[in-house]
Amino acid sequence: MTGEEYAGKHRRAGAGAIRVPRWSSGPPADRVLAAQVVVIAKEPVPGRVKTRLTPPFTPAQAAALAEASLVDTLAAVAATPGRWLPAGFDVIGQRGAGLDERIVWALVDAQETLAVPLVLIGMDTPQVTPGLLAAAAEPLVSDTADATFGMAEDGGFWLLGLRRIDPALVLGVPMSQPDTGSRQLARLERAGLRVRQLPELIDVDTAAEAEHIAAATPGSAFATCLTGLRYGAALAGAVAR
């Protein structure tokens, strides 16, 4: 996970240089190959997250939905089955100019801690399940795929898994564009990687998308938060009348 308020324990190897950790002679043969799940996220501060939800929501309400989405995402990560999942969470500060750089640094920093395959997701898909995360990690762990990839309905992507980190696979891909997902997928395929695609998911960026995901995940922190916001709005309207 990354957080803007945390300075992070890793630092650049040099000005602008990205040092990618490598296995000296492949993964250790005496243990089961592990994988890491990296959640790239913003601290849910009003006015700084989910700004496209305002209006109809206030900045504070949008931040509450972002926090609930992150809670559900982390719960799915923590509940993902398999011996490959490390215990606990390590918080690493985001760094880099654009989102492409921040994604690369998040992957590099995480692999510097543990040189194993990585699965990166954001905080915008609270409907993600442990099963989906396991399906993204297993092909990397078993070496039946070099990359796993999940397209988002809005044209972006919600998941990127890599067996080996190569900054060139991500750097320079235009982010937050209607064709970001297809461009990123094409970058992986042009590199000759074996790519396993996952189901397409909806990102939470608009109120309509929030309603759709809440309806699909009853009982989740996200659905509970949205219900509370609806109730508060209805109550305020009744008092105003």
Condensed to tens digits (0 to 9), the pLDDT of residues 106-129 reads: 999 988 888 899 999 999 999 999
Q: Of 84-88, 125-129, 234-238, which has the strongest mean pLDDT? A: 125-129
Here the tokens at position 135 are 């399906």
Return d(Cα 140, Cα 99) in angstroms, integer.
24
Spell out a b/e string for 164-190, using b for 16 or more CB atoms within 10 Å of the CB, else e: bbebebbeebebeeeebbebbbebbee
Residue type, 78: A
Question: Tokens 């949205």 label which residue?
Answer: 226
Q: For the chain, give the mean pLDDT.
A: 83
Q: How many CA atoms lie within 13 A of 182 on its CB side?
A: 6
Question: Could you tell me what percent of the chain has a pLDDT over 90?
Answer: 66
Whole-structure pTM value: 0.81
Catalogue all structural domains in the chain, each as residue range(s) with its CATH number: 36-52+71-202 (3.90.550.10)
What is the model's pLDDT at position 3? 36
Residue type, 48: R
Q: Could you tell me if 99 and 176 are in contact, meaning their C-beta atoms sit under 8 angstroms apart?
A: yes
Return d(Cα 235, Cα 134) in angstroms, integer.
41
Condensed to tens digits (0 to 9), the pLDDT of residues 19-74 reads: 554 543 344 433 344 788 999 998 999 999 999 999 999 999 999 999 999 999 99
pLDDT tier at 81, thresholds 50, 70, 90: low
With a cut of 60, say whether residue 76 has pLDDT above it.
yes
What is the model's pLDDT at position 82? 55
